[in-house]
């Protein structure tokens, strides 16, 4: 069974292509024009074990918002498409990821019902010259909506005593935790025998 997808999203603001193989090896080709965002999307492929191609051309002359939002929407739609009817998957996944002083917990339900809860501390406004940290929540909201999943992301610890949160570590740990949770949730369950993991019979 091939669990792959190709999604193109074209608007007056952006042009996005996403290709994904849920049963890949972490092979990745990413280009959005936002360097730190590219780095984060690499985390999804590498720690999720997905083959992932993302090519986005957006109106960065305005700001990064449309580029990041539309990429997240296309990525979510690709996950949803690749999962098909979700027969035989584990459905639920969770991960707790440390990154130096930061600790993040992510939990995923591939429920077919989009709902996102996101909690992080106040961070410096930018990572690098282009990535606005205020967009991280919106990325998860856009991704969760398009993927039709329930997603909880909680930053449990973010700073050394007397120090301030390192925005790079806080955001990167979130992407790694979500990636690990998605890896578990999308995995095929050898005990499920192709069954839909819901008493409703559909997800």
Q: Is the model's pTM score more than 0.85?
A: yes
Residue 119 to residue 155: CA distance in whole angstroms: 6
The lowest-confidence range among 56-70, 96-110, 188-202 is: 188-202
- pLDDT for position 163: 81
Query: Which superfamily does CATH assign the domain made up of 4-186 to?
Result: Imidazole glycerol phosphate dehydratase; domain 1 (3.30.230.40)
- pLDDT for position 71: 98
In the chain, beta strands by DSSP E:
4-10, 14-21, 28-31, 51-58, 92-99, 102-109, 115-119, 126-127, 131-132, 150-157
Residue 1 has pLDDT above 90, yes or no: no
Residue-range domain boundaries for the chain: 4-186
Residue 201 has pLDDT above 90, yes or no: no
Q: Dump pLDDT digits (tens) for 165-188.
A: 999 999 999 999 999 999 999 999
Q: Dump pLDDT digits (tens) for 129-166.
A: 999 999 999 999 999 999 999 999 999 999 877 788 99
């Amino acid at each position: 069974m091939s669990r792959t997808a190709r999604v193109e999203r074209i608007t007056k603001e952006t042009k996005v292509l996403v290709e994904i193989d849920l049963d890949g090896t972490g092979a990745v080709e990413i280009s959005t024009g936002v360097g730190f965002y590219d780095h984060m999307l690499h985390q999804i492929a590498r720690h999720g074990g997905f083959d992932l191609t993302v090519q986005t051309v957006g109106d960065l002359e305005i700001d990064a918002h449309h580029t990041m939002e539309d990429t997240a929407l296309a990525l979510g739609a690709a996950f949803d498409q690749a999962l098909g009817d979700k027969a035989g998957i584990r459905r639920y996944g969770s991960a707790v990821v440390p990154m130096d002083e930061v600790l993040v917990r992510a939990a995923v339900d591939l429920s077919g019902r989009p709902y996102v809860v996101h909690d992080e501390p106040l961070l410096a406004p930018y990572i690098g010259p282009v990535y606005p940290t205020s967009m991280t929540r919106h990325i998860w909201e856009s991704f969760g909506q398009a993927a039709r999943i329930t997603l909880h992301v909680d930053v449990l610890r973010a700073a050394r005593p007397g120090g301030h949160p390192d925005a790079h570590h806080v955001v990167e740990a979130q992407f790694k935790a979500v990636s690990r949770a998605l890896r578990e949730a999308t995995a095929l369950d050898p005990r499920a025998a192709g069954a839909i993991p819901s008493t409703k019979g559909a997800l």
